Amino acid sequence: MPTIVHVTSVEVVGDHRLRLTFEDGAGGEVDLSTFEWRGVFDPLADPAYFALVELDRELGTIVWPNGADLAPETLHDWVTGGLRAATA
């Protein structure tokens, strides 16, 4: 089971790119430009809506106004592993 490391900051750095920092000191960018925007994630295909991302300190991850979020452990793996998200 992956260790959950919470997100401590998020910054939009491109149409579908985020710079994230985590409580363990890890940080970097994640490129979600190839993400398959379906279901609750569908509105995020619009770069303007994607840019509405916020940090939810209670959940320790990032969220959008429609309730979409991504698991902090997944984001941490993507950032530390240099991975690009390919699917929802």
Say if 87 falls within a structural domain.
no
* Token pair in block for residue 39: 């279901």
Confidence of residue 3 (pLDDT cuts 50, 70, 90): confident
pTM over 0.85: yes
Measured CA to CA, the distance from residue 73 to residue 70 in angstroms comes to 9
Residue 63 in domain:
yes
Residue 88: inside a domain, yes or no? Answer: no
In a domain, 86, yes or no: no
Tally of domains within the chain: 1
Q: What is the CATH number for 19?
A: 3.30.2020.10
Does residue 27 lie within any of the structural domains?
A: yes
Express each pLDDT in 43-60 by its tens digit.
999 999 999 999 999 999
Alpha helical stretches, state H, 18-63? 47-50
Q: What is the pLDDT of residue 81?
A: 86
Please give the mean pLDDT across all residues of the chain.
91
The parent domain of residue 42 ranges over 7-81
Asked, for residue 1, whether it belongs to a domain, the answer is no
**First vs last Cα of the chain: how many Å apart?**
20
Q: Is 76 among the domain residues? A: yes
Exposed/middle/buried for 70, CB within 10 Å: 0-12, 13-18, 19+? Answer: buried
Q: Which structure tokens are listed for 23?
A: 């409580």
